[in-house]
Structure 1
Amino acid sequence: MAAVLRRLSGLHAAHRLVWVDVARGLALVSMFVAHAAPSGGPGGILHLTEFLTAALFAALVGVGAALERRRHGAGRALALALIRAVALLAAAWLTALSGAQVADILTHLAIVMVVLPLLVALPRSLRTGLAVVCLMLGVWLTAVGTAPVAARLSEALAPLQSLTAPVRAQLGNVGAALAVTEAESLRWTAEFLTAGPYRLPPLLAWALLGSVLVASVHRFEGVARGRAAAWAGAGLGLAAVALAFSRWRTGEFPLPYTASLADVALATGLVLAALGACAAVVPSHLPWLTGILAVPGSMTLTVYVAHQAYLGWAVGAWTVLGGALQPGAGPWLSPAGTDDTWFNVVALCVGGLLLPLLWRTVVRREPWRRGPLEGPIALATRRLAR
């Protein structure tokens, strides 16, 4: 097992930080549990995946942006980000066809991916301060509500609408289609700012923190493991405080995806703990335990899209007729007709490992060996990334 994982992951170990791939793999496993687990497990500990998953994916966007800028410079890093953002939007279109009972985060991450290269040039202290501001902004916008926020945005954008009105008038029907209606304004405000489940300000904050953390712990000669451990400890402390505060006020976990103060504090603590622990613990070589996460983590986008396709199949394979399930429903479908089963958790975890291993066993040529979706992206970015 160890030899297979080393052989199939060796290429990526040479060109990528292994602990970052492990963190990506951890994000995938957290997502599998959040999307398919039928219960919270002992003491509700599995509910923590509801807070960690989106925050960790966003933080990894920030990690990637910081590393790209260091390796390729500001201009190329931005160009690479634009290409990858287009790839995420294309993948979001694919996942929309799956029919899975999960909310997709790829469109939100594409926006964050474009913005981050413009911000990683700021000093670390400013990025940290901006991250705190974005977290508080996310909490405040949610508390204000969709309609007031949409109204304020319309007022702020009114001069721009006036400036573009003559151009839209000349475009005729096309220009009319470009005009934003009140209903569309409310929908976009809710989806991206106030009603979630994913909101851009907290996602941007976690991405900024990811860029700060990797700049703090990563050196060309290796990883500053002491600093990484300090980040992990600080994250665990923040998560513990958020949990204690929520237990004191309500006696329960914070509600995920609500952008409450306890929600964003817990998610922030967990993501710092996860990234810091990965950087502090993961060695530079690939033993089999590390490889179990590093292999799917090096083919993240393909595994993400595949998991959506599987969950879409799981809920579509058998339907509910007359209030009862069709005969022959499998273990992938709960009695309520949802995808929340332990069978699906295991299937996703095993599939997330086997898919990259099988692909790289069959496909040996670069850049296609990197994955069905990662290969075309690598081909499109090859010249810029040299």
Structure 2
Amino acid sequence: MRVFDAHRIAAIDIARGYAVLTMFIAHAQPDQTSGWGHLLTIAGGGERPRTLFAITGGLALGLFVASGLRRGGDLRELRRTIAIRGVFLIALGLFLQTMASGVSVVLDTWGLLFLIALPFLRVRNVPLLAGSTVLLLVGTAVKLWVGTAVNPVLVLHTELLQLLDWLTTGSYPLLIWLAFLGFGYAISRLDLSRRRTQLVLLVIGVVLFAAVVDAAFTTSAPGSSDTFFGDLLVHVSAIGFAVALIAGLLLVTSGMGTVARIAGFILFPLRAVGSMPLTIYTAHVLALATWRGFGAPGFETWFPFLALSACSLVFATLWRLFVGQGPLERLISSLSRPPARSLPFVNR
């Protein structure tokens, strides 16, 4: 029985599974942490999980487009599929925002990213990387400026605040996340099966991360340093961490050797979570809303995070083994499937 489609890349699923579970830390950690809990917060908290989530999303989008074109798909048809998925994610994200979950929902931002990316799917890597770098610089500067100078003036204009939240001042500002998406999209065009490519990516990621490791560990979120350079260092560090982690996972999971088989077996639950991020993310928002509705029992402990993580790993593993594609992933694939024929969504 084939549990995963042959075109899926294990390292991307595993990295995205890690990103999803570590995002739980910010949503369900106790107010005060010490000991191993503090180490857990350092290892998974801050900017790194969401940056990793964004870059793996860019990778998945690039692989989807490349796979569709390689199989003779029409670019217009691919754009239609991506647009439908984008609209679905916006609607689902806005719906989840109505829940009292305490989560800054990312799905509506992700849907907007899909729509904005549509005209740029065939842009070559050099201008893509250059544009992403410019967006990162501009987005970091604009977020800092808008948050301190403009946002207080518009407190009474809710509709404008929503736009500003999407574009600049929210937890997932579009200008910055477009940069992350572009970096991931560019990486997807490399030959990720080659050891040389994997090693080069690993070196680049480690260098970027190590160059600003102090900023990565001393700043819990972009903007907390209140300086452009400080915020930028946090983003660069998080990008380096994401690239290094993906490259490292590619090295240990690629091929048919003993190491790859052992790593694949051990990391299977995490890969299962990463193969259905929409389902797991939505379920955790609903679970947190229900939990808070009952008064958030155990909020002073790590039990909510551990329960969310364990349930996610067990559910995703069993569902992947006995059913296959995640329920919401199956729904969105059905809604966006072309009328005449279906195109595979790589690492969907």
Q: 1:243–1:254: 8 Å Cα contact kept in structure 2? A: no
Residue in 2 that maps onto 1:172: none
Deviations 1:91-110 (A, max 9, x none): 21442243211111111111
Residue in 1 that maps onto 2:221: 256
Q: How does 1:1-386 map to 2 (within 5 A)?
A: 10-38=2-30, 39=33, 44=39, 46-47=41-42, 48-73=44-69, 74-146=75-147, 183-184=157-158, 186-218=160-192, 223-244=193-214, 246=215, 253-258=218-223, 260-284=231-255, 287-318=264-295, 329=297, 331=298, 333-334=299-300, 341-360=301-320, 363=323, 369-382=324-337, 383-385=341-343
Q: 2:109–2:172: 8 Å Cα contact kept in structure 1? A: yes
Could you tell me the TM-score, scaled by structure 1's length?
A: 0.74
The one-letter code matched in structure 1 to 2:50 is: A
How far does residue 284 in structure 1 lie from its aligned partner after superposition?
4.7
**In structure 2, how many angstroms separate the alpha carbons of the residues matched to 1:40 and 1:205?**
34
How far does residue 184 in structure 1 lie from its aligned partner after superposition?
4.6
Residue in 2 that maps onto 1:325: none
**In structure 2, how many angstroms separate the alpha carbons of the residues matched to 1:209 and 1:149?**
29
How far does residue 187 in structure 1 lie from its aligned partner after superposition?
0.5
Deviations 1:231-267 (A, max 9, x none): 12222221222233x39xxxx7124132722222222
How far does residue 33 in structure 1 lie from its aligned partner after superposition?
2.3
Q: 1:40–1:46: 8 Å Cα contact kept in structure 2? A: no
Q: Secondary structure in 2 aligned to 1:370?
A: coil
Unaligned runs of 5+ in 1: 1-6, 151-180, 320-328, 335-340, 364-368
**In structure 2, how many angstroms separate the alpha carbons of the residues matched to 1:103 and 1:115?**
21
Residues 34 and 41 (structure 1), Cα distance of their counterparts in 2 relative to 1, 3 Å cut? farther
Residue in 2 that maps onto 1:323: none
After TM superposition, which residue ranges in structure 1, 4 or more long, deviate above 6 angstroms? Answer: 147-150
**In structure 2, how many angstroms separate the alpha carbons of the residues matched to 1:373 and 1:271?**
26
What fraction of aligned residue pairs are identical, expressed as a percent?
A: 24
The one-letter code matched in structure 2 to 1:351 is: C
Residues 194 and 372 (structure 1), Cα distance of their counterparts in 2 relative to 1, 3 Å cut? same
Residues 295 and 267 (structure 1), Cα distance of their counterparts in 2 relative to 1, 3 Å cut? same
How far does residue 384 in structure 1 lie from its aligned partner after superposition?
4.2
Residues 124 and 360 (structure 1), Cα distance of their counterparts in 2 relative to 1, 3 Å cut? closer
Q: 1:65–1:77: 8 Å Cα contact kept in structure 2? A: no
**In structure 2, how many angstroms separate the alpha carbons of the residues matched to 1:58 and 1:40?**
29
Residue in 1 that maps onto 2:72: none
**In structure 1, how many angstroms separate the alpha carbons of the residues matched to 2:190 and 2:100?**
41
**In structure 2, how many angstroms separate the alpha carbons of the residues matched to 1:300 and 1:146?**
30
Residues 197 and 384 (structure 1), Cα distance of their counterparts in 2 relative to 1, 3 Å cut? same
How far does residue 208 in structure 1 lie from its aligned partner after superposition?
0.7
How far does residue 305 in structure 1 lie from its aligned partner after superposition?
0.5
Which range moved further: 310-319 or 18-27?
A: 310-319
Unaligned runs of 5+ in 2: 70-74
Deviations 1:260-312 (A, max 9, x none): 22222222222222222222222356632121211111111110001111111
Residues 61 and 318 (structure 1), Cα distance of their counterparts in 2 relative to 1, 3 Å cut? same
**In structure 1, how many angstroms separate the alpha carbons of the residues matched to 2:145 and 2:209?**
25
Deviations 1:86-145 (A, max 9, x none): 221232144224321111111111111222343231111111111110110111102322
How far does residue 54 in structure 1 lie from its aligned partner after superposition?
1.7
